[in-house]
Amino acid sequence: MKYGRLAGAGAVELADAERPEPAAGEVTVDLAACGVCGTDLEKLRGNYRSAGILGHEPVGRVAAVGPGVSGASVGDRVFVHHHVPCYACDVCARGDLTFCPTYSKTNLDPGGFAETFRVPAENVRRGAVLRLADAIDWDAGALLEPAGCALTAIRKVGLPTGARAFVLGLGPVGILYARLLKSLGAAWVGGSEVAPLRRAAAERGGIDRVVDPRESGAVERAVADATDGRGVDLAVVATGHPAVMRSGYGLVRRGGTLNLFGLPEPASRLDVDLQELYLRGVRVVPTYATTEPDVRDVHALLADGRLRISDLVTHRRPLAAIAEAFDLAGRPDVAVKVVVTGPAA
């Protein structure tokens, strides 16, 4: 079978592998679609301190079920989460599930960009194989993981009643974050984005104010207008650029929260006046990845129509054209979300 893998710095290629068979407690899944995530692009660029396995937003059909597996049957339409926490260590006991030491050690084999991939027994046992509702198409299913990351972040930082928030960086996951804030009852959500195509997608999704950050003072004016000059309850940095993180800090009200949501550039620093941060009481909260319960909750929002996300997919490319898919995903001028499709689509 074919699967996508890194082929040195800046290159992704198709490679051959034996089609996996499930052992006890495992399942295998035939790929229908897998989104190209920003972290996949960072791995391609050599900017991500993590394993080089590509593809972590896959949906497909269960191909085979190993002995001892319950709750999954051949032919089921499923989303599969690539990482799971142990739910037993001190970190998990304190609720910081995505920072569990074993979380990143669990993964799909050989990755989400494969004609067929194997789901390890620990992932199956801990609820990482989620049957898709009939109302959820492949495109929406391939966005469950990034939407789950946004929901995990929102729950981590807390969303005050009537909150006003601003998202800096309206790429696919930034738009998902903004739409979730609206769905969960935020009173006002604004955002900034350089790419016109992505600004249009944000506006189409009901975001209250979308501005181009290159326009001098546009971000600050939008926030001041919406908050009577007080600043937002929550500023979300959905990009890794240090300058944007510094800008986000300046938008937060006294006692508000800055969520570092996008993957920071390697060795980057947040240069802020620590005494000012102390006296203003601003919380700086990094969040990372998602968990099965949050993905299930996003799934429920989609299934009952409270959240709409599949319209963010602008391009679909077959697995054979994975290099083209990665190229498109790295071009915000022409694409919002790109998915790679497989034989089960």
Provide the pLDDT for residue 75. Answer: 98
- 38's CB contacts (< 8 A; 6+ apart) are 171, 172, 173, 262, 263
Provide the pLDDT for residue 136. Answer: 98
- 243's CB contacts (< 8 A; 6+ apart) are none
Provide the pLDDT for residue 50. Answer: 61
For the chain (345 residues), the mean pLDDT of every run of 10, in chain order, is: 90 96 98 96 79 91 97 97 96 96 94 98 97 98 98 95 96 98 97 98 96 98 98 97 93 98 88 93 96 97 95 98 97 97 97
Provide the pLDDT for residue 49. Answer: 60
Provide the pLDDT for residue 108. Answer: 97
Provide the pLDDT for residue 267. Answer: 86
Domain-wise residue ranges, the chain: 2-143+309-341, 150-286
Q: Which CATH class is domain 150-286?
A: alpha beta
Tens digit of each residue's pLDDT (9 = 90 or more) over 221-269? 999 999 999 999 999 999 988 899 999 999 999 999 999 999 888 888 8
Burial class from Cβ neighbours inside 10 Å (0-12, 13-18, 19+) for residue 190 reads: buried
Instruction: Choose which CATH entry (2.30.40.10, 3.40.50.300, 3.40.50.970, 3.90.180.10) describes domain 2-143+309-341.
Output: 3.90.180.10
Provide the pLDDT for residue 266. Answer: 83
Tens digit of each residue's pLDDT (9 = 90 or more) over 42-89? 888 887 766 689 999 999 999 999 999 999 999 999 999 999 999 999
